[in-house]
Amino acid sequence: MPSSNATPGRVWKRKRRQSKSKEENQGAKMKGDQSNEPPKAAGSFDASKLGAEGNHAALTVERVVRRYPKLERRLYEPLVLVHVIDPVRGVRFNNTNDTTDDTLDKLRRSFINGIATICDFRKGGDTVTAAALQATPEHTVIWLSANKTPSAKTVNYLEGILAILTEVTVEKRSSTSEEIIRRIIEFCEPRLSHYCNELVKELPKCLNKIKSLEEAVQLTDSDPELSKAIQWLQEMQKLTLQQEKPIKDIMNFCIRGRCFSPTLASLARRETDMHKPITRAMHYVGRLVVYLKCARALVDGALDLPQLLDGYQLRICESPNYVQSPLNPEQSTLAGIVGRMFQGSIADQTRSDLERLDIFCDIPEKLKDACTFRTRVHAELLLVDKFRSNKWEFFAGDRYVGCSKPACFCCYHYINSLPERYFVAQCHNKVYTHWRAPDLTDIHDFSAAKVREDVLNVVIAKLRTEAGEDSAAFRFHYRFYVGASIERGIVKLRHAYAPSPVDAR
């Protein structure tokens, strides 16, 4: 209704404008209905709406500066929400898209992984290390990066290892391996001691769990391999309980039990409790064995690929500073985040599902706590960005960056979404709120800015999908469990949605 003081002419003009606008909207709708394009899903990305901005040639410094912080907030809101619901987004997996059959390629990748792994000497994430090989006309450049810039101590240690490898011969293979293992154990003692101590704790629980499974299904009577595996675990337990238990002896004992891995893995699949002692014990056994395998891979690479170390250079990629979270804990509420992530009925349904889940997980309080963090660029992303921005060539054209840890959820999807075809060997599917994409160092490089924006949009879409699937899965569990018995259902739901443990990267 027009206001009482409006003149008849103004009212008529207003109605005419409204009628014209209505006709234009109807015409646009009819035109859209006649189109052969499928309808866009709610919350989906429509590139046509970008117009000229969809092309990096139309970008300006002002647009880059304006869009940068907005893009950061769009990333971290779903990232924090997914982390609060469950930071582990699936099982660890190996990339099955590896089409490399070349033995030398695999040997070279093992060599790169070995360099990265033996430099990761402490738990906590700072020393997670990545390595890559740059090809130049004169020599090979071995690049090293870490979540926190490698120290001079790490550089000197690695240079000592590489110097030994340049002198290795077939006749000195065994003695060289022993010397490298000795140096690895000495340098990585903090991490290796942690693995040994955790193994000491898990072995009794592991043996008790096997015993309970044995009594339940009478396994050992029909499986002699399991009897041998149990004997091996018992002997290792005796070794770890000795007053003097050198790390090397425990590592050698672990590698002797590799033949029992399939048997124990089949048992681990029967574990239904949260702790999973068999799985955890075998995890620590595997971590100790890795360092022995790395020493062997380094020696094999030096012998079979001598050109890698022929006049090589070792260079360090410095890590950027930490950056404070772009989120405001007071504004990053559950309703606000979901409302910005989804549209219409999807947002309402997701919000309703997560509010039910809040009964068991206290999401708002956890969201508030999770918004206070500092971000850093992971080691493998530093090297990928270094090679991309400088347009460097990888050795043998193999775009591979080795890392001491599998890629996290965000690193995996970020690297796989880049226009170049980099290979990511493994992903542990964990989500870290402190994750950050490589910084845009030159706001005048509009091509790089557009690629970064496009890739981050892919990561954002993956995170939103994860949040939506969590909501749908909870809705099913809520109806299934709570429908029959409220009290029993709440107990089951609390168990089902207990946060998964996340080891520090």
Query: What digits encode the pLDDT tens for the residues 285-300?
Result: 999 999 999 999 999 9
Query: What is residue 476's predicted lDDT score, i.e. its pLDDT?
Result: 43
SS (H, E, C) 433-454: CCEECCCCCCCCCHHHHHHHHH
pLDDT band for 278, please (50, 70, 90 cuts): very high
Distance, in Å, from the CA atom of 211 to the CA atom of 12, rounded to the nearest integer, reads 88
Q: Judge whether residue 404 has pLDDT over 70.
A: yes
Most confident of 33-42, 102-111, 402-411, 446-455: 402-411
Q: Which of 279, 260, 251, 257 is nearest to 191 (CA)?
A: 251
pLDDT in tens, 196-208: 999 999 999 999 9
Instruction: Find the mean pLDDT for residues 239-252.
Output: 86
pTM of the model: 0.78
Those residues whose C-beta lies under 8 Å from the C-beta of residue 399, and which sit 6 or more positions away, are 387, 420, 421, 422, 423
Residue 165 near residue 154, CB atoms below 8 Å = no
- What does the CA dihedral 161, 167, 172, 178 come to, rounded to 10 degrees? -10
Mean pLDDT, all residues of the chain: 80
Q: Report whether 258 contacts 248 (CB < 8 A).
A: no
pLDDT of residue 128: 97
**Confidence (pLDDT) at 417:** 94
Q: Give the whole-angstrom CA distance, residue 9 versus residue 358.
A: 56
Yes or no: say if 384 and 422 are a contact pair by the CB < 8 Å rule.
Answer: yes
pLDDT tens-place string over residues 358-368: 555 677 778 88
Say if residue 381's pLDDT is above 70: yes
Pairwise CA distance, residues 236 & 401, whole Å: 35
Give the pairing type, strands 402-403 and 323-324: unpaired
pLDDT band at 329 (very low <50, low <70, confident <90, very high): confident
For the chain, domain boundaries: 60-87+326-372+435-482, 93-324+373-430
CA distance 423 to 338: 33
For residue range 145-203, what is the model confidence (pLDDT) as tens digits? 999 999 999 999 999 999 999 999 999 999 999 999 999 999 999 999 999 999 999 99
What are the angstrom distances between the C-alpha of 6 and each of 11, 13, 14, 44?
Answer: 7, 11, 11, 43
